[in-house]
Structure 1
């Protein structure tokens, strides 16, 4: 059971009193004081009923990341720009015994090339039907987003074999709504004088934001599916969705709306990934009935220990250090041609995912199923767009000649 701060229970707050705040982490998890202060500040927001903070908690621009908050009012700024961001876990039809890291890394470098951008896919057709301007469809984005090939490092309970197999390879995709979510958030800020008091869900402004929010959530899920299909295509294999779990969104609840910011919105009977870093283990967990008290929310990853600016100077100062950032203890490699991003996303920037899972399990929110090792992590490549356009032009000319046939 979480440690509630406040006089009321998790779902009701007496008028004039701050919302109840529950911490689902232990002293073993390092939490910045500024993140805790952001939780306390949120508790004072109008309509806020209860807040859950998780072991990956860290400061954010408009509020902390790694929390879920129930409110009678809507706060778009708590969700931010990447509406619908989440993680999709997929099974590849590529046995681990046939998997070659270097060969897979070479293939995965083609993941986002424009020449690969026009795939015939039911998911892509559906995503395009959601919004006319979808120029970033099927792309991962920057920051902590990635596409990673994984394998089971350890099965942590007998029931894990129902979902995962040590002889198979898997794909973990972390991405969101890209420019769509950013444009929706910008329009929301421009259209409302202030969001400090939140939006009434029944008002025109509240309905408008919820409608566009839902569009972004659907688009982001389809974006992850298309990324997975592209990865499978370059690897010359097939892919199957196991679980897709968003962590930047709102969901309607009995007493209001739950705001999930960097907190995985899980369901009973499902499974969920909890990402580590490109040089540490990730985990797959089963949410337990106890997660109802935390608004069916859990951590979505390890959470940042150091912000991006503070990572510069900590590592990557020499050529050997920079090369070391692209390798891990399991022989895995990271594809990241952006030197600054490689430093900002180094394993040392993140907390210990194993401790995050331990804290969640200790509070009765999850049961750990498996630890997953990273084999190939795709972050960003330098793309020769001119050459890609020339290739695409040649393909189109060849198609026209074939039609004239």
Structure 2
């Protein structure tokens, strides 16, 4: 068996290499979830971390019973990734920061704030390609490393809280598209959508001719053609091609995964960094965020290393890494909704 795949119980598996830090509480929650009625198998990803009763960063396979709590209220949350026309050779971060504007004041005709990013760990980020690992796949999808990319992480906004059915998945995908269109308009560029995938949703699947319900809470689908796995705002993102494995519940990690609870972040960082210092990262990128709480709660130090997450998935043979992307400008909020 691959050395990053751990069997914790007859129903509980975990993908984590020796370099991947997993909090004990998250593992306890995973084991507890495996004991729910009609639960067939639970699969923790390398970004596993504790949630409210059930962990985030996992896939859950049940028979006959659906568990809404294993998807959460932000139904359809996921990642959209666009190739823009902005030339890397003419890059000016000062110009981008001035151009990016404010998309936090939505069209008030829509009560669910369509076209806005939201709080928590949601963001939009301008990125550049820093490494290409698989040139054949990179070129196959007609990607251009001389142009910048736009990554949008958002969900179904207020709609996910109002309903618990999968109409929210379509809304969440549309929300990422509208966010990208508004930002590209502000940046005076055009682009094309490379991928738009979810990591909080329910799917009916057939395994060995048996029908099951597959819940994903912070887990991307390996059934998608391409997936992007982002790190924190001060870390790399990776474009990957999934390798589907039924025994690993056809799922991938959705990001780096939290290392610290949000409530602990300000106390750990307040005496070490100023607000302005937290708006710059070790990779040279900048952060646009006018919410003082989010600056601390979403600091790079609060997250695991994305490289350890990618390493775990490579050892489990569930991804082919295509490219590494470096953040340039991370947009969270200019103020507003």
TM-score, normalised to structure 1, is 0.77
The answer to whether 1:146 aligns with 2:123 is yes
RMSD across aligned C-alpha pairs, in angstroms? 1.8
Runs of 5+ consecutive residues of structure 2 not aligned to the other structure: none
What residue is the counterpart of 1:172 in the other structure?
151
What residue is the counterpart of 1:121 in the other structure?
none
| CA deviation vs aligned residue, 1:202-226 (integer Å, no higher than 9, x gap) | xxxxxxxxxxx22100100000000
What residue is the counterpart of 2:222 in the other structure?
266
| 3-state SS in 2 of match to 1:313 | helix
Structure number, greater radius of gyration: 1
Ranges of 4+ aligned residues in structure 1 off by more than 4 Å = none
| CA deviation vs aligned residue, 1:120-142 (integer Å, no higher than 9, x gap) | xxxxxxxxxxxx95441111100
Runs of 5+ consecutive residues of structure 1 not aligned to the other structure: 8-19, 119-131, 186-212, 386-405
| 3-state SS in 2 of match to 1:63 | coil
Kept after mapping to 1: 8 A contact 2:13/2:42: yes
Name the structure where helix makes up a greater proportion of residues. Answer: 1
Tell me the distance in 2 between the aligned counterparts of 1:157 and 1:74. Answer: 39
Kept after mapping to 1: 8 A contact 2:17/2:308: no
* Number of aligned residue pairs: 327
Name the structure where strand makes up a greater proportion of residues. Answer: 2
Kept after mapping to 2: 8 A contact 1:109/1:378: no
Kept after mapping to 1: 8 A contact 2:60/2:70: no
What residue is the counterpart of 1:110 in the other structure?
102
What residue is the counterpart of 1:299 in the other structure?
253
| CA deviation vs aligned residue, 1:137-172 (integer Å, no higher than 9, x gap) | 111100000010101011122324324332110011
What residue is the counterpart of 1:357 in the other structure?
310
* Alpha-carbon offset, residue 314 of structure 1: 1.3
| 3-state SS in 2 of match to 1:267 | coil
* Alpha-carbon offset, residue 245 of structure 1: 1.3
Are residues 113 and 99 of structure 1, via their aligned partners in 2, closer, same or farther at CA, if it must alter by over 3 Å? farther
The answer to whether 1:229 aligns with 2:181 is yes
* Alpha-carbon offset, residue 301 of structure 1: 0.3
Tell me the distance in 1 between the aligned counterparts of 2:227 and 2:67. Answer: 25
Tell me the distance in 1 between the aligned counterparts of 2:252 and 2:260. Answer: 21
| 3-state SS in 2 of match to 1:312 | helix
Match of 2:203 among 251, 255, 270: 251
| CA deviation vs aligned residue, 1:276-335 (integer Å, no higher than 9, x gap) | 11111111111114x3322221001000000101111211336x5321111123432100
What residue is the counterpart of 1:325 in the other structure?
278
Kept after mapping to 1: 8 A contact 2:103/2:115: no
Kept after mapping to 1: 8 A contact 2:79/2:154: yes
Kept after mapping to 2: 8 A contact 1:249/1:259: yes
